[in-house]
Amino acid sequence: MITPNPRATALLAAALLLSGCGTGAVATTTGAAAPTTSAPQPEISLDLAPQQLPGLGPRTWAQVPSDSRQALVVTGRDKDSPRSTAVLYQRTDAGWEAGREWPAHNALKGWTDHHRLGDLRSPVGVYTLSDAGGLLRDPGTRLPYDHSTGFTLGGTGFEGEPLAGSFDYVIAIDYNRKPGTTPLDWTRPLGADRGGGIWLHVDHGGPTHGCVSLDREHMKDLLLALDPDRNPVVVMGDRAALAR
């Protein structure tokens, strides 16, 4: 049974009002139309959530599963830039509602439609988010979480920044991996030459090898927000690619 949406009903009534239905004449007790003088209707802002994720063209939108109710949209500045922004969208009866915009990093050389091992570009596409883990204990996510010292990382990044702590929180992006396993599982269904280990992880202040990184608190917020029952996905790529 479909429960009527009060907000949708009210908006439909407002739309009918704006289109002229119910204005210009009123019914009298005799059934005749009596002339009236109607004051101009004030402009009404119908603040509807979009039914499609903003910024996506038909090809990208077609890849978003119809049953997905959560989508992290990562939009790169341009094809060759390592900087991007991320917004978590939640699908409701009214449409897709946006969360706050978060700054993010992607791969050093930007984005690619055909990721290969060592190309220093992040893969464009729509991917499910099914598994998480990290060096730190589970903060309370509903995703399966692997707490392991295997997420220990050292060394420095491309700009000399320390990498320690980057894998404190990790969400595996299901690119060339086996969903339902720890992010540390190195199974590569497309072959090793197509790369892998593409994660969402804690930002270390510089470009990545292929992952997408968010500030620590934003990663924690994301882990707490994602719900496997809502079939979460990440939609990622440079602005032009996503608009295709």
- 105, 115, 209, 211: which one is catalytic? 211
Is residue 105 part of the annotated active site? The answer reads no
- 105, 115, 201, 204: which one is catalytic? 201
Is residue 147 part of the annotated active site? The answer reads no
**In terms of C-beta distances under 8 Å and separation of at least 24 residues, what long-range contacts does 113-118 make, across chains too?**
113/241, 115/175, 115/176, 115/194, 115/195, 115/198, 115/210, 116/193, 116/194, 116/195, 117/192, 117/193, 117/194, 117/195, 117/196, 118/195
Please choose, from the candidates 65, 72, 113, the residue with its C-alpha nearest in 3D space to the C-alpha of residue 89.
Answer: 72
Residues tagged active-site:
201, 211
